[in-house]
Structure 1
Amino acid sequence: MKIVEAFFLGLVQGATEFLPVSSSGHLILTEAFFRVRAGLAFDTFIHLGTLMAVLIYFRRDWLMIISSFRRPGFGRLLFLMLCVGTIPGAVAGLFLEDIVSAHFRVPERVAFMLILMSLPLLAGEFFGRKDKSLRELGLLGAAVIGLAQALALIPGTSRSGITMAAGLLLGLSRAEAAHFSFLLSAPIITGAGLFEGVKILSQGELPFLTLFSGALAAFLSGWLAISFLLSFLQTRSFYPFIVYRLLLAMLVYAIF
């Protein structure tokens, strides 16, 4: 893979990681369309770029969590919520990653999941009360969103999409559902990205500069995507993203 290809894939990954459209699905489709062979290890490693976007963009939340270890506050509950929400996805990734990599990283199955996993987001928009704040979510709600996040291991699902849908169904406002979804991405990306990064660097599959260019691009586009979506959801719904997912799936079926 060339550096320019890695940078382009990083832009795609970062832009779609935080939008409910499936970053892994877009990477697979982009790689298939341009005939670039990157693979799951590269896809996972460049998520470290989006991790940096989350850590820096939401630095006040992370500082609040850190300060809560010295004095009680919402930061301590938020930390526990993130821990509880991370466990299902971590377990799923540990035991199912090889199966998913072998059987689901093909355009036709990505398209199917784009359609299927539009339904929870549609249900969240239709049935969700959308009046709760993050402080009202609680540990049980965080666990439910964590279970939803485990489904995102399958390309085409969208980690952000399925967790935001779960948040809406639990009554969170659109912006708060997105906020928690973004925070919840940090632990799972950290674990998976570091694991895959160490593995592919030790095996020498891709040069460090190639990996770095992809991660840098993911950071830049990820930052912009977070800022855009949080602003967008203040006054608008998820319906445009649902329509986009369906149109993209139909395009994939037409091409592949």
Structure 2
Amino acid sequence: MDYITAIVLALVQGITEFLPVSSQAHLVLAGAWLGDIYQGLDFDVILHAGSLVAVVFYFRQEIFAMLRDWTGSLAGKGHTKDSKLGWWIIIGTIPAGALGILFKDLAENEWRSVAVMAAALIVFGILLGIADWKGRGTRDEYSLTLKDVLIIGFAQALALIPGTSRSGITMTAALFLGMSREAAARFSFLLSIPVIAAAGLLYTLELVQKGTTTSWGTLLVGFVVAVVSTYACIHYFLAFIRRIGMQPFVIYRIILGLLLLAVVW
């Protein structure tokens, strides 16, 4: 893999990881456009590591407050809104983790087809549009209840279906529950941290067994580009949805899904 290819794939990962448009579908499309290139497990791991570093750095103040108060709650110091949010993120991660283990092979093989991606882009895109149009609530992430968190958590598990978009489906569920656009996005991003970290750990263990195939220079370039592009994407996305909402992403998903179906048929 040359440096230009690495930069293109890292940009695709960084820009689409937290947009409600499915980063997985875009990486598959980018690989096909670049000549049916497979980026390799090591490069995939480094790109997700870059996205993880970016989201943790962006929400570093919130994460510090959650960790401080969450550990305090374990020590018997009582609960605060931040310790409660920390527990919600842990609980909300469990459904995706459990179902991810059960359906890992299906998600990586049988479901990984252009037709499935196209259908998921369209169907879940329409749901996002309905949620954004009907929801427009005012609740923030600190108002969530256990029931709300479980609903969002099980919604996150649907992202096992390629083309769904993890951020898209969690934002959709949050909007249906009456959260504001910004709060839905913030909780979705925070909820992604354990999932990305756990997936990265599993793939790293697999990578240790198989060994790396990509040069360290290419991996470094991919990591840096993924960090910068992911951070910028989070920042501008939050500002964008505050003013305009989710509808442009809904339209984009439907058009992309229809184009993919046209290719398949």
TM-score by length of 1: 0.93
Q: Deviations over 1:20-54 (max 9, x none)?
A: 00001111111122221136674355211111111
8 Å CA contact 2:136, 2:181 repeated in 1: no
Counterpart CA distance in 1 for 2:108 and 2:223 is: 21
Query: Aligned match of 2:191 in 184, 189, 197?
Result: 184
In structure 2, the residue matched to 1:29 is: 29
8 Å CA contact 1:201, 1:207 repeated in 2: no
Task: Please tell me whether residue 196 in structure 1 is matched to residue 203 in structure 2.
Answer: yes
Task: Please tell me whether residue 230 in structure 1 is matched to residue 230 in structure 2.
Answer: no
Counterpart CA distance in 2 for 1:129 and 1:178 is: 13
In structure 1, the residue matched to 2:169 is: 162
8 Å CA contact 2:42, 2:212 repeated in 1: no
In structure 1, the residue matched to 2:64 is: 63
Distance apart, 1:207 and its partner CA: 2.9
8 Å CA contact 1:40, 1:101 repeated in 2: no
Gaps of at least 5 residues in structure 1 are none
In structure 2, the residue matched to 1:48 is: 49
In structure 2, the residue matched to 1:253 is: 261
Query: Aligned match of 1:216 in 179, 200, 224?
Result: 224
Distance apart, 1:208 and its partner CA: 5.6
Counterpart CA distance in 2 for 1:215 and 1:49 is: 5
Cα distance change of structure 1 residues 32 and 255 upon mapping to structure 2, 3 Å threshold: same
Counterpart CA distance in 1 for 2:115 and 2:40 is: 17
Counterpart CA distance in 2 for 1:40 and 1:142 is: 32
Cα distance change of structure 1 residues 104 and 30 upon mapping to structure 2, 3 Å threshold: farther
Distance apart, 1:123 and its partner CA: 2.3
**Matching of residues 97-176 of structure 1 within 5 Å:** 97-176=104-183
Distance apart, 1:93 and its partner CA: 1.7
Counterpart CA distance in 2 for 1:41 and 1:24 is: 16
| Farther-moved stretch of structure 1 (138-147 vs 64-73) | 64-73
Cα distance change of structure 1 residues 145 and 208 upon mapping to structure 2, 3 Å threshold: farther
Counterpart CA distance in 2 for 1:244 and 1:205 is: 35
Counterpart CA distance in 1 for 2:32 and 2:9 is: 12
SS for the counterpart of 1:37 is coil
SS for the counterpart of 1:117 is helix
8 Å CA contact 2:42, 2:213 repeated in 1: no
Counterpart CA distance in 2 for 1:182 and 1:200 is: 26
SS for the counterpart of 1:234 is helix
Matched pairs, number: 256
Counterpart CA distance in 1 for 2:248 and 2:41 is: 28
Q: Deviations over 1:120-175 (max 9, x none)?
A: 20221233251111111122211111100001111110000000000000000000
SS for the counterpart of 1:233 is helix
In structure 2, the residue matched to 1:14 is: 14
8 Å CA contact 2:51, 2:230 repeated in 1: yes
| Farther-moved stretch of structure 1 (39-48 vs 114-123) | 39-48
| Farther-moved stretch of structure 1 (90-99 vs 169-178) | 90-99
Q: Deviations over 1:43-97 (max 9, x none)?
A: 3552111111110000011110122133542111011100111001111221212
SS for the counterpart of 2:15 is helix
Gaps of at least 5 residues in structure 2 are none
